[in-house]
Structure 1
Amino acid sequence: MLFRCLTSLAVCAMLDVPQAAVAQASGAYPSRPITLVVPYPPGGAADQFARSLGHALGERLGQSVVVENRPGANGNIGSAYVARRQAADGYTLLLGSASTLTINPNLYADIGYDPVKDLQPITLTHQMPNVLVVSSKTPYKRVADVVRAAKANPGHIAFGSAGYGNTMHLAGVLFQRQAGIKLVHVPYKGGAPALMDVLAGTIPMMFNNLPALVPLKDSDKVRLLAVADTKRSPVLPKVPTFAEEGLPGVVSVVWNGILVRRGTPQAIVDRLNWEMGSILKSPAFRQPLEAQGYEVLSSTPGEFEALIKKDLANMHKLTKEAGMKIN
């Protein structure tokens, strides 16, 4: 199923190594501030999670962790910056996602980096389902209303996304395929500006990450029609799944994780994995984020790398079947 990260893989044991031994093996690291690159604009769900994680990591490491947004080309610009232009020393981290690590390599002729050869996984951090949100200025109150209108006006109703090939876009592609409808895709440079236009009624709808929509659950400007997951979200208990709305094949759950440039010393990789794993397992860190709609995860570097390779193959099949390619 699209972008689904199996819980049995994602929620897993950290390295069974004493903390003191990991810290000693990594020497004086870190001796200066660390940069966490988010390859998307500020304000989105991924950016918000990164800022929470960066703050907690800085406290554990005793050095500031500065979040730096480098958006563009559906996340390729920021990802290539870390993968090819920064030293393999653990001082530049990357927030990677299903989009930048498994979808983009299958869409673009050249993304500027190889997600397997150039990047070293540290840990999975979280996942979140996409949700169909419509402007309250539209007449759509159920998924069936959208489907009915789209069938009556094929190729005339628009939906926004964070960019061509983004998981929000592919969720829309999957929705169209399962419902037998044709919509018009309007790509934006990030999910936040697309959502602003849905709120304003400039575009009728979009798929967006659940945490970006939780603050709007009681808004009179939008309606949340369905969650693209196999189960309802505990933070949106009144919003049905697509299966409940008659479209069981619409499942779009997006995973994210932290990586560094390949070649970073193993001791630093182990240190970062240990420290982040401790944060991600902490109830004090998890609970506020889970209340916002994030499903907090953790993993070993090897498990994260196995997921990337597996989903690279899955996305190759999906994008080829959909005829999607960017030169």
Structure 2
Amino acid sequence: MQGIRQALACAVSAVALLGATPAKADNWPSKPIQMIVPQAPGGTNDIVARLVAADLSQRLGQQVVVENRPGAGGNIGTQFAARATPNGYTLLMTISSTQAINPSLYRQVPFDPIKDFEPIALVATVPNVLVVNPAFPAKTLPELIAMAKAKPGQYRFASAGNGTLNHLLGEMLNSMAGIQLEHVPYKGVAPALNDVLGNQVPMAFASLPSVLPHIKAGKVRALGVSSARRSPFAPDIPAIGETVPGYSGDLWVGLFAVKGTPKEITQKLAQTMQAALADPALREKLGAQGAEALSATPQQFATQLKGDIDKWARIVKSSGAQVD
């Protein structure tokens, strides 16, 4: 009889365990959700994250709290998220620079962008713009390319630092256009842009939201956006790909869950994000920040991520950029 009781107890326990995950998923979320942003407050990713978090809070009926954990190009916050319990209460809102470029840029990366995370939603894209000081002779990108081919290594471009997106966009232009612009790294995009404004260095890539006011004021001249097509927020600026076929390198913002999060939760989260990104109100708020809302399935996002990791690895290798 004792053996029968033990067998029944084990059977009941097994049934309870089998039903545990779905039950938790059905009740998710039952408490506030932490959204890790591995960049500093005030940047593109932080702004997008806070808009999305406010929208998700309403849709999910639980507060979504943004927590900034910047450092090491986004590696610190991303590592923190990767080690979190995979229960749907820790999410990662990050950018392509960290998730797709860092794995090949840093000698040691404390996370795996594929194995540690589950893609949920490709939220928005923000193009960079190649801008020049108004005193620079080239009025268009074809003119710049012709000048650079005539005098290899004579013209410089500024960036936010070695291996940053705006550095690699310049290296990609060098490679695909067959030119040799010399790279000048700065400690951040603000000092780089300041020296372009002051004509200490003639050109730089900068995000559209950060540089659009200067373009409108005539303080810099825009030669092209880095996206595959023209930005709806600056339709008069040609895409670099119109002159250099195949050129494309946007900054994207994406939402991830920790790998191992129950499928029911990731599906619910993905469906909620799809609804949010289809909402004109959120799209308008993102657009006001120069970020174009996207709509992609988690599978499409996963394909995009893998493709970007491969693409930027080739560009990092050819540039020789490396960060310890």
Change (3 A) 1:311 1:240: closer
Aligned to 1:235: 233
Which residue is 2:15 aligned to?
none
Choose which of 289, 305, 318 in structure 2 pairs with 1:308. Answer: 305
Q: How does 1:259-274 map to 2 (within 5 A)?
A: 259-274=256-271
Deviations 1:140-186 (A, max 9, x none): 53335544665576545442334432322211101122343333334
1:94 positional shift: 1.4
Q: TM-score, normalised by structure 1?
A: 0.78
Instruction: Give the whole-Å Cα distance in 2 for the aligned partners of 1:76 and 1:197.
Output: 28
Q: Could you tell me which residue of structure 1 aligns to residue 10 of structure 2?
A: none
Structure 1: runs of 5 or more not aligned: 1-21
Encode CA deviations 1:177-204: one digit per residue, 9 max, x unaligned: 2343333334455545544554455543
Q: What's the secondary structure of 1:206's corresponding residue?
A: strand
Q: CA deviation at 1:321?
A: 4.2
Amino acid paired to 1:77:
I
Displacement of 1:274? 2.2
The match for 1:170 is 168
Which residue is equivalent to 2:277?
A: 280
Q: Which residue of 2 aligns with 1:119?
A: 117
Q: Which residue of 1 aligns with 2:86?
A: 88
C-alpha displacement at 1:124, in angstroms?
1.2
Question: Partners in 1 of 2:186 and 2:57 — Cα distance?
Answer: 32
Report the alpha carbon displacement of residue 257 of structure 1 after superposing the two structures with TM: 1.0
Between the aligned residues of both structures, percent identity stands at 44
Determine if contact 1:128/1:253 at 8 Å carries over to the other structure.
yes
Alignment partner, residue 8 of structure 1:
none
Is this contact kept in 1: 2:162–2:321, CA < 8 A? no
1:214-246 Cα offsets, whole Å, 9 max, x none, are 4444123222221223432232122122244x4
Q: Report what 2:108 is aligned to.
A: 110
Q: Choose which of 200, 208, 211 in structure 1 pairs with 2:209.
A: 211
Corresponding position of 1:252: 249
- Point out the more displaced range, 176-185 or 193-202: 193-202
Higher relative CO (Cα under 8 Å, sequence separation at least 6) belongs to 1
- Taking the aligned partners of 2:193 and 2:90, their CA distance within structure 1 comes to 30
By how many angstroms is 1:47 displaced? Answer: 2.5
User: Could you tell me which amino acid in structure 1 is paired with residue 43 of structure 2?
Assistant: G
Q: Which amino acid aligns with 1:301?
A: P
Higher helix share: 2
Instruction: Tell me the alpha carbon deviations over residues 38-77 of structure 1, each in whole angstroms, 9 at most, x when there is no partner.
Output: 2223333333222211221122233333333333332222
Q: What residue number does 1:4 align with?
A: none
The DSSP-based 3-state class of the residue aligned with 2:104 is helix
Change (3 A) 1:46 1:178: same
Q: TM-score, normalised by structure 2?
A: 0.79
| Secondary structure of residue in 2 paired with 1:110 | coil
Q: Is the 8 A contact 1:72 1:189 kept in 2?
A: no
Cα distance change of structure 1 residues 35 and 139 upon mapping to structure 2, 3 Å threshold: farther
Does the C-alpha gap of structure 1 residues 263 and 187 become closer, same or farther in structure 2, counting only changes over 3 Å?
Answer: farther
**Structure 2 counterpart of 1:31:** 31
SS in 2 for 1:181: coil
Task: Tell me how far apart the structure 2 counterparts of residues 175 and 215 of structure 1 sit (CA, whole Å).
Answer: 24
The aligned length equals 303
Provide the C-alpha distance between the structure 1 equivalents of 2:30 and 2:191, rounded to a whole number of angstroms.
Answer: 36
Given that residues 130 and 206 in structure 2 are in contact (C-alpha distance below 8 angstroms), is that contact kept between their aligned partners in structure 1?
yes
Please state whether the residue corresponding to 1:247 is helix, strand or coil.
Answer: coil
1:225 aligns with: 223
CA separation in 1, counterparts of 2:205 and 2:67? Answer: 25
Give the distance between the partners of 1:272 and 1:28, measured in 2 at CA: 10
Contact 1:74 1:189 in 2 (8 A): no
Larger Rg: 2
Structure 2 CA distance for aligned equivalents of residues 196 and 92 of structure 1: 37
Contact 1:129 1:227 (C-alpha < 8 Å) held by counterparts: yes
Task: Give me the whole-angstrom Cα distance separating, in 1, the residues matched to 2:271 and 2:190.
Answer: 32
* C-alpha displacement of 1:96: 2.7
2:97 aligns with one of 96, 99, 118: 99
Question: What is the deviation of 1:115?
Answer: 0.9
Aligned residue for 1:225, secondary structure, equals: strand
- Specify whether residues 199 and 278 from structure 1 end up closer, same or farther in structure 2 by C-alpha distance, changes over 3 A only: farther
Q: For the residues of structure 1 that align with 2:215 and 2:39, how far apart are their CA atoms?
A: 24
Q: Output the amino acid matched with 2:176.
A: Q
**Residues 87/159 of structure 1: CA separation in 2 closer, same or farther (3 Å cut):** farther
Partner of 2:216: helix, strand, or coil? coil
Structure 1 Cα separation of the partners of residues 29 and 119 of structure 2? 18
